[in-house]
């Protein structure tokens, strides 16, 4: 199924698609006139269109109908991810988006081996590709990198429950999530390769975060992040829902 995201101001009865998206459609997906193309406006709206012409520089499509909005997960997960090396961060962004997170915030912690990055544009592109591939109606935001203290200085309109995952201890995750049913927003903090220091865990706890453990096995940082999002989506969201 051919899908792309376009800003809502580019969507009209007849749509012209240029740039990288035209190349993607014409070269990668081999789109030809007559094909059906689904266009998402990143606000939850989906349009079924018919391709009128297709080339590397420009693809033209006609809107046939506006489809019912696709439902997102009932729980909005914000993932604060300690910065990871190399392609590990790419993997976490991709899989977290596929699993339904609402927002990803890269964080520099005391033990982060990566302390700055020029990969934000890359991560945002990965997030868009993952959202398109998984059929999500919106692209989750990948925010600018923040320092660890910045996690606790967000100006939220409502209180948000949060969990920090620590290999050094904490309550079993099963027990933690069992007390959160019906929650609509949650923040998850996962660490870099070196994990969190005791001071960082105390700061999170003092800001209302619950400390949780994933058990006795030692997981790679990227594995832990994917696991916690999966578990929380299964327990509170729509993973596995009919």
Give, for all 242 residues of the chain, the pLDDT tens digit: 899 999 888 899 999 999 999 999 999 999 999 999 999 988 888 999 999 999 999 999 999 999 887 788 999 999 999 999 989 999 999 999 999 999 999 999 988 877 777 899 999 999 999 999 998 989 999 999 999 999 988 655 455 689 999 988 888 888 888 888 888 999 999 989 988 999 999 999 999 999 998 888 889 999 999 999 999 999 999 887 65
Strand residues in 113-204 grouped as ranges (E): 141-142, 146-147, 161-165, 171-172, 185-190
On whether residue 88 sits in a domain, the answer given is yes
Domain boundary among 19, 38, 67: 67
Label the pairing between strands 58-67 and 46-54.
antiparallel
CATH number, domain with residue 108: 3.40.1280.10
Domain boundary among 19, 47, 67: 67
Whether residues 34 and 51 share a domain: the answer is: yes
Whether residues 168 and 50 share a domain: the answer is: no
Contact indicator for 109, 196 with CB cutoff of 8 Å: yes
Whether residues 29 and 97 share a domain: the answer is: no
CA–CA dist 198, 23 (Å, integer)? 49
Closest CA to 139 of 123, 159, 115: 123
- pLDDT score at 70: 78
| Burial (0-12, 13-18, 19+ Cβ within 10 Å), 241 | exposed
- pLDDT score at 122: 95
Phi–psi pair at 199, nearest 5 degrees: -60, -45
On whether residue 199 sits in a domain, the answer given is yes
Whether residues 7 and 121 share a domain: the answer is: no
Max CA pair span of the chain: 60
CATH number, domain with residue 56: 2.40.240.20
Tokens representing residue 157 in the block:
């309109």
Whether residues 51 and 149 share a domain: the answer is: no
CA–CA dist 103, 148 (Å, integer)? 16
CA–CA dist 43, 139 (Å, integer)? 9
- pLDDT score at 157: 45
- pLDDT score at 185: 93
Whether residues 96 and 213 share a domain: the answer is: yes
Whether residues 80 and 160 share a domain: the answer is: yes
- pLDDT score at 160: 67
- pLDDT score at 159: 54
- pLDDT score at 151: 93
Whether residues 43 and 152 share a domain: the answer is: no
Domain boundary among 29, 49, 67: 67
Number of domains, the chain: 2
Whether residues 57 and 84 share a domain: the answer is: no
On whether residue 151 sits in a domain, the answer given is yes
On whether residue 148 sits in a domain, the answer given is yes
Cα dihedral value 169, 172, 84, 20, nearest 10: -170
Whether residues 138 and 219 share a domain: the answer is: yes
On whether residue 241 sits in a domain, the answer given is no
Closest CA to 140 of 125, 118, 151: 125
- pLDDT score at 216: 85
On whether residue 242 sits in a domain, the answer given is no
CA–CA dist 39, 47 (Å, integer)? 5
On whether residue 91 sits in a domain, the answer given is yes
Count CB neighbours of 189 within 10 A: 28
Whether residues 57 and 102 share a domain: the answer is: no
Q: Domain residues for 32?
A: 3-67
Whether residues 175 and 231 share a domain: the answer is: yes
- pLDDT score at 242: 58
SS3 sequence of 55-96: CCCEEEEEEEEEECCCCCCCCEEEEEEECCCCCHHHHHHHHH
Residues in the chain: 242
């Amino acid at each position: 199924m051919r899908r792309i995201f376009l800003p809502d101001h580019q969507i009209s009865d007849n749509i012209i698609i240029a740039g990288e998206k035209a190349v993607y459609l014409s070269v990668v997906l081999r789109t030809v006139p007559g094909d059906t193309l689904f266009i998402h406006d990143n606000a939850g709206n989906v349009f079924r269109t018919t391709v009128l012409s297709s080339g590397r520089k420009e693809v033209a499509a006609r809107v046939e109908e506006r489809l019912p909005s696709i439902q997102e997960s009932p729980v909005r997960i914000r993932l604060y991810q300690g910065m990871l090396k190399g392609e590990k961060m790419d993997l976490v962004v991709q899989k977290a988006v596929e699993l339904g997170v609402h927002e990803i915030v890269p964080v520099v912690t005391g033990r982060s081996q990566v302390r700055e990055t020029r990969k934000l544009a890359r991560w945002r592109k990965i997030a868009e590709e993952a959202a398109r591939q998984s059929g999500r109606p919106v692209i989750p935001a990948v925010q600018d990198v923040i320092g660890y203290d910045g996690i606790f200085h967000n100006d939220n309109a409502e209180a948000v429950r949060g969990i920090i995952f620590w290999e050094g201890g904490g309550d079993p995750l099963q027990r933690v999530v069992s007390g959160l049913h019906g929650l609509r927003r949650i923040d998850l903090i996962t660490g870099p390769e070196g994990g969190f220091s005791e001071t960082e865990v105390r700061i999170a706890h003092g800001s209302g975060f619950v400390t949780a453990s994933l058990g006795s096995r030692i997981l790679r940082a990227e594995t832990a992040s994917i696991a916690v999002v999966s578990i929380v989506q299964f327990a509170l969201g729509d993973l596995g829902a009919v």
